[in-house]
Structure 1
Amino acid sequence: MRLRVLLSEGSSTSAREAVTVLGLAGHHVEICDPSPWCLARFSSFVRKFHHCPGLRDDPAGYLGFILKLLASGRFDVLLPTHEQGFLFARVRDRIPADVHVALPDFASYRTALSKAGFCRLLDELALPQPQTSIVASEAALRAAARLPCVLKTAIGTASRGIWFVQDQSELDRAVRELNASGSLADGVLVQDFIAGTTEKAQGVFCRGRLVGFHAFRRLAPGAGGGEAIKESVARPHARAMLARIGAHLAWHGGLSVDYLMPEAGARPLLIDCNPRVVEPMSAYLAGTDLITPLLGISLGETPDALPESRAGVKTRLAMQALLGCAAHGGSRRELLRACGRLMAESGPYENTFEELTPVRLDWLGAVPLSATALLLLASPSAAQRLARSGFGAHLLDRESIARIERDDFAAAL
């Protein structure tokens, strides 16, 4: 069935990949975003772009804009592709009855969004994670830190609010930044550093039951904590843990976790949670379309469980590969070499499929990819600035979360 779908933002890589899956299925796709140059806008599958207020700076304005858009009767499904789900779960009763969306209750969403809440949930379920302390003062942080370690703010996605601390000078710098932002008062996670491979598992849940699953490991890093090359993997332990988490939270919709595979080959150690499906093209290319059952769940259907995705399918994100090359000190010569290998699908990109900007499927994807390559060739140092652009006004911060949680937040709308 051809559906009219509104995406809650268009800046994230997850939104861009969801657009591809939706477009290939023949759905009518529109997006809204505070940036007129957002990544997902450059797709031939997007029928219309709506320039909206930023969730971070004006959550009430953003909500009012979305509700007005939904009241027009133009959409069947609202698809939260990033942190906007936190807002929609908070005001679920304000979304028009004829517009369908898959969301858990607000308390469950808040637990999954909060790093501190997720850590406590893992303890409650006796699921494995690195040794972790939650502290709320500088003195407690310094006492808990066993170098090397990882520091995480209670709230922070897209790799924001994370410090990998190797020595005392890095610890001092992290403490200064935490004090300056006021994040210590919300609680900071002090976590043992564990050597291993980072992997991610994604699931789609229907009222607490896992109906779709996919896992992949990082083969090469990109910029800002992202992946440049992935490979799908079979992880029954990760599947079982994700299923337990979703069942406990009575989850409804997409849910993803990050975990470490220690070098010793022990069980996965859970390190993060994202209350959404993250970058769904890896699963799609491995034979598991997570977006279609997510739409069905949004419509109130109870889909059958999907078969396992194929292990060993390698995918690439060309933009992340170029950003990662530049961010890790690559010269113009190395960037040109990376461009050549990406075009020829050779070297590390041999036998990989493009998931973020699949130009052969969607020619407009060439626009942001070419612009990124040209900008980095002109100034490789621009990689860090471009990576930070993914942390824009479409996301939440401490202040916007506090405003949304206020009892009178939606009263004036």
Structure 2
Amino acid sequence: MLRKVRKAVNSNTKKGKNVSAPPAFVTYGWCRSSYAVVLSLGRRGIDVHVGDASPLAMSRFSRYCKSFTKLPDFFVEPKRYFELTCEALKRTGAEVLLPGHEDVGIFCRHRGDLPSGVSIALPEWDNYRIAEDKFTVLDMAQEAGCPVPETIEVTSLAELKNMARTTTYPIVIKARTGNSAKGVRIVHDKDEGADMFKELVQTFGLFHERWPIVQEFLPGEAAGVCVLYDHGRCVASFAERYLRCKEQGKFGTSTLRETYDNHQLISKAVSIMDRLEWHGVAHLDFVADKNGEFRLIEINPRLWGALALALFSGIDFPYLWYLTALGKDNIGPGVIRNRKIKCRWLIGDCLAFVELIKRDKVREALRLIIPERKCYHDDFIVRDPLPLLLEISDYFTKFIKAKGSMNPVVGNMIR
């Protein structure tokens, strides 16, 4: 089924350009997930235009990027970001909009104001709000029959103090909305719990109704499930296992992961997204409890950082998402077979290396230098080398601006 679609869409390719395929506009071009979209579509001869707040955005310098538009930071200026993206869509003639990050929410909410003729495959605003809230989504998961960690919504500091006396440590304190482990703290004893909770509230200016949640710490392995939906129907799904993360342990953004043949895990994810009547892409994070049972931690209702793993394994989520936005209805339901591979985020491992050196963990840091055999990379392919160099430059620039932070927070990112 998938081969037939590829043949139909690529039948009018001329000198590397697919003359019949509508051009696409990809946002958040500095991120490796957006680069994977540019790579996927560009190699098929589809014109791909890129937008981002950074002039050093890695996708801008890809051989597959048709044009670049400088946009404001959507966390800081969401209204202006939307307006300038609409202007870019008109100017470039892009007919498919593929948001690269949490700007998905902006376009979900204001889809009716997009230029005429622009196609998207994004969830309804109410469903998106449920999925992005790390507390609300757990109720939905339980209703779908998926296990979740014990989680408490804190309503007062007195409640938090009483909880500290009876809780088994470690525990997790996390903001209800955030990304890349920002707004997440691991608490190891009762003495530091209240301080970490207050620090989160004060640092990010969280209102009482958006106070952090307290969650059971799960000690098992971490895995993820990636899905694409077409108006409530699962078009493609894929599981991955995290082998290494940027933060200590298997916590935070993964830097090395492998394909994972776990149909039971995929079934859990699909049951949740079916209940949400999803439309578009999403990524679900699971961690195993002490008995080895995977429990849902959160949903990323957007593209995910490790997108390249699925792409190189044979499941072309960006292209399938593009087709879904165009209303193609013959791209085949269910799980598409993939091959066993690993994929590594080079810059992520570099950031982890620096953090470990700062903590005098030299031996652990040196392990990150060892090359992985038969491994693909999120941010580098031989035929398109410039994006990696610009990714390095972009991260270094942000590192300096953030005064040495490896995971900087801007604007309304944690809420």
TM over 0.5: yes
Contact 2:349 2:368 in 1 (8 A): no
- After TM superposition, give the deviation of residue 307 of structure 1 in Å: 4.4
Query: What code does the residue aligned with 1:265 have?
Result: G
User: Deviation at 1:16?
Assistant: 2.3
Out of 346, 349, 354, the position equivalent to 2:377 is 354
How far the C-alpha of 1:339 sits from its partner, in A, is: 8.1
Q: Which amino acid aligns with 2:376?
A: F
Q: CA deviation at 1:113?
A: 1.0
The answer to whether structure 1 residue 217 and structure 2 residue 241 are counterparts is yes
Provide structure 1 residue ranges, at least 5 long, that are not aligned to the other structure. Answer: 399-413
Task: Give 3-state SS (helix, strand or coil) of 2:404's partner.
Answer: helix
Q: CA 1:149 to 1:8, structure 2 compared with 1: closer, same or farther past 3 Å?
A: same
Shift of 1:312: 3.2
In 2: Cα distance, 1:125 partner to 1:291 partner: 27
Change (3 A) 1:28 1:20: same
1:252-291 correspondence runs (5 A): 252-266=279-293, 268-278=294-304, 279-291=306-318
Shift of 1:88: 0.7
- Identity over aligned pairs, percent: 24
For structure 2, the 5+ residue unaligned runs are 1-8, 10-20
Q: Kindly state the Cα deviation for residue 263 of structure 1 after the two structures are TM-superposed.
A: 5.0
Correspondent of 1:162 among 184, 200, 221: 184
Q: The residue matched to 2:407 in structure 1 has which SS? A: helix
- In 1, Cα distance between equivalents of 2:77 and 2:378: 32
Cα displacement string for residues 264-290 of structure 1 (whole angstroms, at most 9, x for unaligned residues)? 333x11001011231321001111111
The reply to whether residue 247 of structure 1 matches residue 269 of structure 2 is no
Are the counterparts in 2 of residues 178 and 184 from structure 1 also a CA contact under 8 Å?
Answer: no
- The structure 1 residue matched to 2:63, chosen from 44, 47, 58, is 44
Aligned equivalent of 1:228, options 255, 259, 263: 255
Residue-by-residue CA offset, 1:287-340 (whole Å, 9 max, x unaligned): 111111111110112221264343531111111111112212367987996686
Q: Does 1:319 align with 2:347?
A: yes
Bigger drift between 4-13 and 249-258 goes to: 4-13
Change in 2 beyond 3 A, CA 1:209/1:76: same
Partner of 2:99: 80
Q: Relative to structure 1, is the Cα distance of residues 272 and 96 closer, same or farther in structure 2, using a 3 angstrom cutoff?
A: same
Alignment of 1:58-73 (within 5 A): 58-72=77-91
User: What is the aligned counterpart of 1:329 among 357, 361, 364?
Assistant: 357
Which one-letter code corresponds to 1:168 in the other structure?
Answer: K
- 1:129 deviates by 0.7
What does residue 215 of structure 2 align with? 191
Residue number in structure 2 paired with 1:410: none
For residues 97 and 361 of structure 2, what CA distance do their matches in structure 1 show?
42
SS of the residue 1:329 aligns to: helix
Task: Kindly report structure 1 stretches of 4+ aligned residues shifted beyond 6 Å.
Answer: 330-336, 380-384
The worse-fitting range, judged by mean Cα deviation, of 129-138 and 69-78 is 69-78
- 1:385-412 Cα distance to aligned partner (Å, 9 max, x none): 36324x446x7454xxxxxxxxxxxxxx
- Change in CA separation of 1:336 and 1:239 when aligned onto 2, cut-off 3 Å: closer
Q: Which residue of 2 aligns with 1:34?
A: 53
Q: In the comparison of the two structures, how many residue pairs are matched?
A: 384
Cα shift at 1:362: 0.9
RMSD of aligned residue pairs (Cα, Å):
2.9
Matches within 5 A, 1:96-175: 96-145=115-164, 146=167, 147-175=169-197
**Equivalent residue of 2:97, what SS?**
strand
Counterpart of 2:198, as a letter, is: R
Q: Find the aligned partners of 2:343 and 2:263 in 1 and give their Cα distance.
A: 21
Retained in 1: the 8 A contact 2:56–2:390? no
